[in-house]
């Protein structure tokens, strides 16, 4: 009995040792393969950098998609116990860029559209359809002839409006010439002292075209799965400061898995013409003083978007 027990113990020890050795060997082989994969990935990244340095068109885009829907029945703890609500948001930031030895041509766009609905089922007269809540559309085209590595003579065209509602009312078209400066990689600064700001609108009494200076600054950067783009566009009218405007949009996306991640965008805008146009739409002639450029509240316009993102 003792010999049998001893034999079993020896056999168990031998098997355990064998499994332990096999496990350690597999771990070592796995570590070696991981090192090989890391080395190969580094080579792939280096080759991609070399490919990116070749002249030619470079296309890309990233954006954010957000959606939420809810439905309540007999939820008495809130003001509208029976309701359905929803929100849909789409942002897209495409670009197409060509960089040659003597010249460049950069094209970028920004689209931010969203719709919301709130249907109070107990109110037959409420609006139960999706309505626009944000509506931003802008495209920019910049062409430059290089004088030095960082300075170029350039011409720029920029158009911005809304597209869901009130298309081209107002619409802004900037056309101008001047200098483009690229002091560091990924940063573009445009200074055009000769620029005409065409404004298209039904209300000619408020919206007016004028000559002025155009300044645009764009910075974009990638850190692994993180993409960041910041664009400031400003027009300074020589005729009247009330006709000036600026827009600053910052977009951020972080890729988590196969191009899918999280996206965030914040936009700021200042336009006294738009503020006065809105004030006229809210004005009650019976009780309020007529709004004008002197008394209008010109608060900075702000929008934010957060949701799932996808990088193309």
Q: Which sign, positive or negative, has the C-alpha torsion 213, 140, 233, 240? A: positive
Per-residue pLDDT at 50 exceeds 70: no
pLDDT score of 49: 62
Q: How far is it, in rounded angstroms, from Cα 132 to Cα 130?
A: 7
Q: Of 254 and 79, which is predicted with more confidence?
A: 254
């990924």: which residue's tokens?
A: 186
Rounded mean pLDDT of 1-18? Answer: 57
Could you give the percent of the chain with pLDDT greater than 70? 86
pLDDT score of 48: 63
pLDDT score of 19: 52
Q: How far is it, in rounded angstroms, from Cα 209 to Cα 269?
A: 18
Per-residue pLDDT at 188 exceeds 90: yes
Per-residue pLDDT at 288 exceeds 70: yes
Q: Of 11 and 269, which is predicted with more confidence?
A: 269
pLDDT score of 242: 92
With CA atoms as reference, report the closest residue to 303 among 60, 141, 66, 10.
Answer: 66
Residue range 20-33, pLDDT digits in tens: 557 677 777 777 77
Per-residue pLDDT at 13 exceeds 70: no
pLDDT score of 269: 92
Q: Of 165 and 42, which is predicted with more confidence?
A: 165
Prediction pTM value: 0.72
Q: Three-state DSSP class for 256?
A: strand
């Amino acid at each position: 009995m003792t010999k049998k027990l001893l034999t079993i113990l020896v056999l168990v020890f031998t098997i355990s040792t064998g499994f332990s050795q096999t496990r350690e060997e597999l771990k070592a082989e796995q570590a070696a393969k991981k090192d090989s994969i890391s080395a190969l990935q580094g080579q792939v990244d280096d080759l991609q950098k070399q490919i990116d340095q070749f002249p030619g068109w470079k296309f890309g885009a990233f954006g954010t998609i957000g959606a939420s829907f809810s439905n309540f029945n007999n939820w008495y703890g809130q003001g509208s116990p029976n309701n359905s609500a929803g929100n849909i948001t789409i942002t897209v930031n495409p670009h197409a860029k060509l960089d040659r030895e003597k010249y460049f041509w950069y094209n970028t766009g920004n689209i931010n559209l969203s719709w919301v609905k709130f249907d109070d089922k107990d109110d037959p007269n409420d609006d139960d359809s999706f309505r626009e809540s944000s509506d931003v559309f802008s495209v920019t085209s910049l062409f430059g002839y290089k004088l030095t590595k960082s300075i170029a003579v350039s011409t720029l065209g920029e158009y911005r409006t809304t597209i869901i509602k009130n298309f081209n009312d107002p619409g802004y078209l900037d056309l101008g010439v001047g200098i483009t400066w690229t002091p560091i990689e990924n940063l573009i600064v445009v200074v055009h002292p000769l620029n005409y700001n065409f404004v298209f609108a039904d209300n000619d009494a408020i919206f007016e075209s004028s000559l002025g200076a155009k300044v645009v600054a764009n910075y974009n950067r990638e850190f692994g799965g993180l993409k960041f783009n910041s664009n400031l566009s400003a027009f300074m009218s020589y005729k009247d400061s009330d006709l000036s405007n600026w827009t600053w949009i910052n977009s951020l996306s972080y890729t988590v898995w196969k191009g899918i991640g999280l996206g965030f965008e914040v936009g700021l805008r200042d336009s006294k013409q738009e503020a006065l146009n809105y004030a006229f739409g809210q004005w009650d002639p019976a009780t309020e003083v007529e709004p004008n450029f002197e008394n209008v509240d010109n608060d900075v316009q702000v929008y934010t978007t957060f949701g799932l993102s996808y990088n193309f």
